[in-house]
Each structure stands twice: as C-alpha cells, then as structure tokens.
Amino acid sequence: MTTTSHSQIVDIQPDIPALDRGCPVEKDLELEKPDPAPLRQDAFGDEEHAEVKYKVLKWWQGGLLMVAETISLGILSLPAAVAGLGLVPSLIVIIGLGALASYTGMLIGQFKQRHPHISSMADAGEVLMGRFGRELLGTAQLLFLIFIMASHILTFTVAFNVITKHGTCTMVFGLVGMIISCFLSLPRTLAKVSWLSLVSFVSILSAVLTTMIAVGIKNPGTVVHATIETNLVTGFMSAANIAFSYVSHNTFFTFIAELKDPNDFPKALALLQTVDMTLYIIASVVIYRYVGPAVTSPALGSAGPLVSRIAYGVALPTIVIAGVINSHVAAKSIYIRIFAGTDHMHKRDWVAVGSWVGIAFGLWVVAWIIAMAIPVFSDLLTLITALFGSWFTFIFTGIFGLHMNQGLWFASPRKMLLTFLNCFSICVGLILCGLGLYTSGKSIHDNTSGSGSFSCADNS
C-alpha cells in the first residue's frame, strides 16, 4: 500500500485517489478493498541493518550536488551567448528556460514518487517502453555522462596549460586529471560526495567573482544594445549555450533515490534553480556590460593573462568535482545493475569495493581516451549535448508528465494547462535537438583547427 508521506510533495500532475493521499475516510475502508499490486522496492531496499547506507542524503546536500553538477566553467560561456543574442532576448531565454527546467525537474520528482523503484533514467525508460526503453535510456544516459566526464578532463588540461604556460605535455595533464578524478570518485554514497560539492560551489563562485571584478577594473564599459542583428547559426548557438546550462536532469533520479526523505526533492530543486538562475543572470550581464561584443568564451580570456591564470586556478576544484559527480552517477547505474538485490550492495567486502573501484577506473579511462582522441571536442560535446541533454531535460520529462496524466489530458482546464506545458517542453527539446545537431554539425564542418589526436600541443 502507498503511504501518507506521498502527500508531502507538491502535486502538479493528476489528482491522486484519496486512498493514495492517506484520506482518513478512505483508510477506514481499506480492509474492504483488495490489496493493489505491491510497489516495486527501490534498488537499495531496507537499510536498517546495512553496513553501507545510501538513503541518508539531506535535501540541502542533494541541492548542493545538483548545483555542483550543473554550474561549472560553462557559466563563463554565457556572456558570449548574451553578445550573440543581445541583452533582452538573452534574459528572456535565461529566465524562460530556467522556469521550464524547474517545471520539468518537478515532473521527475513526481514520476519518481509514482514509481519508487526508479533510480536511473534506465528504470524510467522501462516504465515507459519496457525492456527496450530500459536499454535505450540506460545506454544514452551512460554515454552522455561519459562524454561529460571527458569534457572535464579536457577542461582540466586547458586550465593547467594556462596556469603553467604549457609546462608539459597536454596528455600528461590529462592523466593527472584522470587520476585525481578517479580517486575522488571512490566514495560509494552521494552523502559523502556532497561535501565535495560545497567546495565546488565556493570554487566556481570565487572564479566568477574574480572574473567580474577583473573585467570591471580593466574595462570602462561599453554601450549595451537591447537587441542585435544575428543569423540562425550564431543566434541559435547562443540560445543553445544557455539552454544547455540547464541540462542536468539526467542525474536527478539517482539523487532522489539517495535522499533520506524523497519528498524533500522540491526543496533541493528550488535551491538548484535559485542559485543557477541568479548566477547565470548576474555573471552574464555584468561581464557583457564591461567587455561588450568582444567578450571571449569562456570569459576568463577577457580578464587578461594574469587574472585568467588566477581564475583557472580558483576554478580547478569545480572542474574536477563536477566531473566526479557525473562519474558517480554513471558508476552507480552500472553497480546497481550488477548487484541490486544482493548482499554486495551494502557490504564493504573485496567484491563490493573492488567492483566499485574497477567500474570507476574503467569509466575514467574511457573518458580520458575520448578527451585525448577528439581534436574538436568542444564542438562534439555540443553535438552530444544537443542529442542527449535536450531529450533528458525537456523531451522525456514532458513525456513523463503526459504518462502520469494519461486519460486525463483534457479533463479540466487545469489538466489542459498541464498538457500544454508538457507538450511545450517536448517541442522545446525537439527544437534544441534538431537545430542543435545542425548548428554543431556545421561548426564541426567549418572547424579549421590543426590540433591532432593524442597530441602534446598546448590546447589553451
């Protein structure tokens, strides 16, 4: 039977029958009704006497994990996005997509509430499309996470090339980044990783403040235009950069699964959306105000060589930890698939610990190979993000909403509004995916970079 704790989460989807809401009148009739099919238990089961306990994450720890995963050096690409769109359209896109991402995040929370066994996108895919959906979404999520991990290794090499003025081979920097990231990925619970997320937040906040202060001192400011003339590729790539700063929803199921009280997820989501929307608006507007259309991406280059080195140094924890959080989610999806329902899930024996270390190490090796092998990686990452991020954040979440409201799409004005929002989210995702594939593909085609695979050359 469902429990009364389900009623604590804000319901933006279909009206749940009174029995599921814990209605006192209906409770008196429970014995007269046949028991419904038992709910599938979550992957971690009963942890009362477990050696390793996963479901101990507090809501603010979950919120910080989401902040650390979502906000990294990509925030410093937003001033260039503002320069490509103009101030007013950019603010509309930042606020509008932030609001839509908040709504789709709530859909994930409610979908998890309806199906407590879900701990990954693969589980959600199984609910939607059976075994095929499980394999499709599970593979897509794992591939997306590995490419994000690779992007953080690549960013680590760029940062060290800037800080050391290309002190050694770029591949060596990549190996150092891989080893550090793998070591920090060893904790098996998100509660322990959450303390790293606090360091990550302080790191990126300090880097952003350093950059804003530096450009404010260096530049007297320029004339800011509310709108500018642009073309499809430049304009959409700018809008896509803003949209992709919100595409972290593919990890939310894993975060909710380890919350001590899953009904606290809305508070964690509110923390995430408040922090990221505030930082996105302030950083992009302030830096664009002082640098103008000539702002670089990332904006660290607009602050001068010395400040750029300082800011990259301050941002190093964020560069590493944001990748570690994504690697934890990737490793956890594999680990649960292997050991769910066995004693090894909650043991510290050689099989459990060795398997976790082996999975994490293997994922980071693959990420390092990808980072070193693809010369135009930033363009390819945009391609992968357009292909997967848009689906996980906007398309599948809209489908979750339609699935939960199935049969009630037009039952009332409120249901019609929810149906419109769900369909709108799907349309936004399809546009981001379609035009994102086109514009990133054109960027790859037009790229004239002379960098090669597995090169020692300076990539800063």
Q: What is the CATH number of the domain that holds 176?
A: 1.10.4160.10
- State the SS3 of the chain: CCCHHHHHCCCCCCCCCCCCCCCHHHHCCHHHCCCCCCCCCCCCCCCCCCCCCCCCECHHHHHHHHHHHHCCHHHHHHHHHHHHHCHHHHHHHHHHHHHHHHHHHHHHHHHHHHCCCCCCHHHHHHHHHHHHHHHHHHHHHHHHHHHHHHHHHHHHHHHHHHHHCCCCCHHHHHHHHHHHHHHHCCCCCHHHHHHHHHHHHHHHHHHHHHHHHHHHHHCCCCCCCCCCCCCHHHHHHHHHHHHHHHCCHHHHHHHHHCECCHHHHHHHHHHHHHHHHHHHHHHHHHHHHHHHHHCCCCHHHHHCHHHHHHHHHHHHHHHHHHHHHHHHHHHHHHHHHHHCCCHHHHCCCHHHHHHHHHHHHHHHHHHHHHHHHCCCHHHHHHHHHHHHHHHHHHHHHHHHHHHHCCCCCCCCHHHHHHHHHHHHHHHHHHHHHHHHHHHHHHHHHHCCCCCCCCCCCCCC
In a domain, 440, yes or no: no
**What is the torsional sign of CA 365, 368, 370, 372?**
negative
Across 51-60, 298-307, 373-382, which has the greatest mean pLDDT?
51-60
**Cis peptide leading into residue 413 (ω within 30°):** no
Tokens standing for residue 101: 């991402």
pLDDT at 290 > cutoff 80: yes
Tokens standing for residue 155: 């960013």
The DSSP call for residue 19 is T
In a domain, 455, yes or no: no
**Band (452; pLDDT cuts 50, 70, 90):** low
pLDDT at 20 > cutoff 90: no
Strand-pair partners of 57: 259
pLDDT of residue 308: 86
297 neighbors 283 (Cβ within 8 angstroms): no
Residues 6+ apart with CB under 8 A from 267: 59, 60, 63
- List pLDDT tens digits, range 367-391: 999 999 876 666 677 778 788 989 9
Furthest-apart CA pair in the chain: how many Å? 76
Residue 131 C-alpha from the chain's centroid: 25
- List pLDDT tens digits, range 4-19: 444 344 455 544 443 3
In a domain, 261, yes or no: yes
326 neighbors 177 (Cβ within 8 angstroms): no
How many C-beta neighbours within 10 Å does residue 142 have? Answer: 20
How many C-beta neighbours within 10 Å does residue 305 have? Answer: 11
C-alpha distances out from residue 200 to 67, 170, 329, 398, 421, Å: 9, 24, 17, 30, 33
pTM, whole model, 2 decimals? 0.87
25 neighbors 18 (Cβ within 8 angstroms): yes
Give the domain range for residue 282. 57-373
Share of the chain above pLDDT 90, in %: 59
pLDDT of residue 424: 97
Lowest model confidence (mean pLDDT) among 52-61, 202-211, 228-237, 370-379: 370-379
- Nearest CA to 394 among 332, 335, 436, 341? 436
User: How far apart are the C-alpha atoms of 87 and 117, rounded to whole Å?
Assistant: 44
Burial of 181 (0-12, 13-18, 19+ CB in 10 A): buried
pLDDT of residue 35: 40
**What is the torsional sign of CA 72, 76, 80, 83?**
positive
How many domains is the chain partitioned into structurally? 1
pLDDT of residue 302: 79
pLDDT at 417 > cutoff 50: yes
- List pLDDT tens digits, range 97-111: 999 999 999 999 999
* Between residues 88 and 10, the one the model is more confident about: 88
Strand-pair partners of 242: none
- List pLDDT tens digits, range 124-176: 999 999 999 999 999 999 999 999 999 899 989 989 998 999 999 999 999 99
Average pLDDT over residues 253-269: 96
**What is the torsional sign of CA 284, 290, 291, 296?**
negative
Tokens standing for residue 414: 């409120």
User: How far apart are the C-alpha atoms of 266 and 253, rounded to whole Å?
Assistant: 13
In a domain, 385, yes or no: no
